[in-house]
Structure 1
Amino acid sequence: MDLSSLPQHQKVATVAHVLREEIVLKGQYGTAGQLPTEPELMDRFGVARETVRRALQLLKDTGVVASVQGRGTFVRERPRRATLQRELRPQGGHVDRTDHGAEPWIPLHRGARWKRGTVPLALTECLCLDGKVAIWTSLLGDAKTGTPLQLARTYVPLHVVEKLPSIEEDSTGGAAVLKRLAATGPALSWQLEVGARMPEPAEASQLNTPIGIPLIQTLRITRQAGRVVEATESVVSSERFRIAYLMQDDSGTPDSSAERH
């Protein structure tokens, strides 16, 4: 394959594309096989070492391959994707359960506490929150192994904190916010949005997922008298999970024939 006439970025993209097709579509290296060495790839594609390394890094970022120190580059074994059966709560929020009905999460945040900060730019517009807010970060993991799997952040505007200063003193974090807000006056209303976004480097590290794998994002927005008083964003790896909402028929009986997505 002669790539000599291509600019550098196209050489990198071409090498990555060819290797991805061989790994993902053709299964040429098996489910956990070793790729050729860097010198072998340099000879095959007629490119410099830096081009090969950048191409392999693209494949690492998207979870196609993984490096083992002192051994080389291998096809990455992808985790088995599990289904989260999501139940919406009338009082806001949701509960995730496994196919067997068990709650899959345990809190892993020890010594966590409320901090002051700002809402990420990507959420500012949909939350209508700017300036300083109180933030609670929660890392949740597998109930059996303790593996980190879900990252959640609760944002509370400072006008709510000033009204209920004990919120920041609560050691349970975001779990107590809705209960306290419900007791303060006007009824609460909720909006639940499900989307996707790419992880920040720190999030990818916390969830042990490649930086190129999208996250499934669930955003709960709580309003009181028309104002946003609380928002919680939770994210899980789209490589590890899919989310299913169980539909019900008109009688309120779960419809087992409902299609799951």
Structure 2
Amino acid sequence: MSAGGDGPVTVLARGEGLAAWRQIADGLTAEIEAGRLAAGVQLPTEAALAARFGVNRHTVRRALAVLAERGLVRATQGRGTFVETPRLAYPIGRRTRFSEIVSRAGREAWGDLIAADSVPADPATAEALGIAPGDPVLELQTIHRADDTPLSTARTCLPLPRFAGLDQAYAALGSLTRAYAEFGITDYTRRSTRITARPASADEAARLDLAQGRVLIVLTSVNVDAAGVPIQATRSLFAADRVELVVEG
């Protein structure tokens, strides 16, 4: 079964009890697993696939939804549907750096700032940062990408007034490590990481180009500066289909 949009029509089996959308999904799955549809490749449009398989676009859309549920493709609004890349090995240790990890894998790392605000610290954030509940913190909402693929979305809180304006540095530099350097912090370490998992909500799935309900790895972490002072409390949500956590001793 060929997946391209410019070749001859692929004839589906009719009247044999297997729905057309299932045949399309299984055929595309086989091509992905065999490497004939390589990681990162954009699939033909729904219209092209509908012509290829002799079905309507609704049938193609259902087949692509199945592939997304299997974690084999991701649909990016306005750009199309792409074959997922292999899982990225993501070490968790004393010096966990998103940009360094992604760059070592030969991919381009970047963080997008979605929103930033000064908010009162909730009890959990206050405890993590060693401040009083209600003290002001800078809250960042971010998405982190490897090439064009979103790997995680995060909520990060930093104590104020120490990091007033860091959101602007992050927006310009696309990296917390580079933004910290603008504030005189040349190194920092991970004090703690807690790992859980849960299904993605609709909003989280949209941010990460995931099918709703796909599994997220939840990392709750605290970083400290060279003097051991907490500087960052973060809850990161990783697409479980795209990363493999490696816990370092």
Distance 1:29 1:87, change over 3 A: closer
Aligned residue-pair number? 178
* Alignment partner, residue 109 of structure 1: 112
Contact 1:155 1:232 in 2 (8 A): yes
Larger radius of gyration: 1
| Separation in structure 2 between the aligned mates of residue 189 and residue 103 of structure 1, nearest angstrom | 24
SS in 2 for 1:175: helix
| Separation in structure 2 between the aligned mates of residue 246 and residue 148 of structure 1, nearest angstrom | 24
* Alignment partner, residue 149 of structure 1: 151
Q: Which residue identity is paired with 1:154? A: T
Q: Which residue identity is paired with 1:115? A: D
* Alignment partner, residue 201 of structure 2: 200
Contact 2:221 2:233 in 1 (8 A): yes
Trace 1:28-177 onto structure 2 (pairs within 5 A): 29-30=22-23, 32=25, 69=58, 73-74=62-63, 76-77=66-67, 78=70, 79=72, 82-88=86-92, 90-91=94-95, 93=97, 95-97=100-102, 101-107=104-110, 109=112, 114-117=116-119, 127=128, 130-131=133-134, 132-143=136-147, 146-156=148-158, 160-170=159-169, 171-172=172-173, 174-176=176-178
| Separation in structure 2 between the aligned mates of residue 209 and residue 166 of structure 1, nearest angstrom | 32
SS in 2 for 1:76: helix
User: How high is the TM-score relative to the length of structure 2?
Assistant: 0.51
Q: Cα distance, 1:125 vs. partner? A: 8.7
Trace 1:176-187 onto structure 2 (pairs within 5 A): 176=178, 179=181, 180=183, 182=185
The sequence identity of aligned pairs, in percent, is 15
Q: Which residue identity is paired with 2:66? A: R
SS in 2 for 1:210: coil
Contact 1:135 1:154 in 2 (8 A): yes
Distance 1:92 1:190, change over 3 A: farther
Contact 2:143 2:150 in 1 (8 A): yes
* Alignment partner, residue 3 of structure 2: none
Give unmatched runs, 5+ long, in structure 2.
Answer: 1-17, 28-55, 73-83
| Separation in structure 1 between the aligned mates of residue 126 and residue 163 of structure 2, nearest angstrom | 25
Q: Cα distance, 1:204 vs. partner? A: 0.7
Distance 1:33 1:188, change over 3 A: closer
Q: Cα distance, 1:106 vs. partner? A: 2.7
Q: Cα distance, 1:207 vs. partner? A: 0.8
RMSD between superposed Cα atoms in Å = 4.4
Contact 1:137 1:153 in 2 (8 A): yes
| Separation in structure 1 between the aligned mates of residue 214 and residue 121 of structure 2, nearest angstrom | 23
| Separation in structure 1 between the aligned mates of residue 119 and residue 232 of structure 2, nearest angstrom | 14
Q: Cα distance, 1:109 vs. partner? A: 2.3
Distance 1:161 1:168, change over 3 A: farther
